[in-house]
Amino acid sequence: MPEKKRERRDPELRRAEILKAALACFAERGFAATRMEDVAARAGIAKGTVYLHFPDKERLFIELVSGIASPILGEVGGMIQNETIPARTVVSMFYSLFKREVLETERRHMLRLILAEGPMFPVVTEFYHREIITKGLAILRVVLGRAAARGELRNPAVAEVPQLVMAPALMTVVWATLFEGYEHLDAQKLFDTFLNTLFVPEGGAK
């Protein structure tokens, strides 16, 4: 009985090991330069074993990106079900989750790779736009639309360009991967300052 239970768990454990190895390889080599055999070697398994779980490198990358973004979108999306939660609280939670789950981990390299190499791999960028960007913007449109209606935004027109809310998060990734060695960027201060720029203070004075 114990052995059968272990066998049922092994495929999922192996899948997690492959994803961990893929993240390390992508971070070190980039997407284009990483081969499936590189992932297999990092995971300590045969290349054929990788193909049993993932048909190609694009699917590996997509699985990694989805695993990072889906929990964040799920948690922030769940918050909008409660209309009493202030828009600033929702956006602040998004930044906190992004900072903890992406910026402060090796996962930040995934976004860097999408920015740098995405145009060469349309399957990856199409998935990222469809499953992450589009869903994220849909959540932000609801949040910002409510904020505009309640007079919470300094400029109500922001509700029409929710991409602005994503901009600081992308900026921190670009800075962390390119310029941090030259000049430190306090990501939390950046997020807090942007929140103050975006929303009217409590009490309504601009």
**pLDDT tens digits, one per residue of 64-85:** 888 888 888 999 999 999 999 9
Residues 146, 125, 109, 68: is their CA dihedral positive or negative? positive
pLDDT band at 4 (very low <50, low <70, confident <90, very high): very low
CA distance 102 to 169: 10
pLDDT band at 203 (very low <50, low <70, confident <90, very high): low
Strand partners, 153: 199
Residue at token pair 């509700």: 159
Longest dimension (CA), the chain: 67
16 — phi, psi (to 5°)?
Answer: -65, -40
Enter the pTM of the model: 0.83
Q: Could you tell me where the DSSP H helices lie in 30-133? A: 36-43, 47-53, 57-79, 87-98, 108-117, 122-128
CA distance 169 to 101: 12
Query: For the CA atoms of the chain, what is the radius of gyration?
Result: 20
The pLDDT, as a whole number, for residue 206 is: 54
Helix, strand, coil shares of the chain, percent, nearest 5, are: 75, 0, 20
The pLDDT, as a whole number, for residue 5 is: 44
Contact yes or no for 50/43 (Cβ under 8 A): yes
The pLDDT, as a whole number, for residue 49 is: 92
Rounded mean pLDDT of 6-35? Answer: 84
Q: What is the pLDDT of residues 129-143, one digit of tens each?
A: 998 899 999 999 999
**Position 94 pLDDT exceeds 60:** yes
Kind and range of the H or E element at 195? Answer: helix 187-198
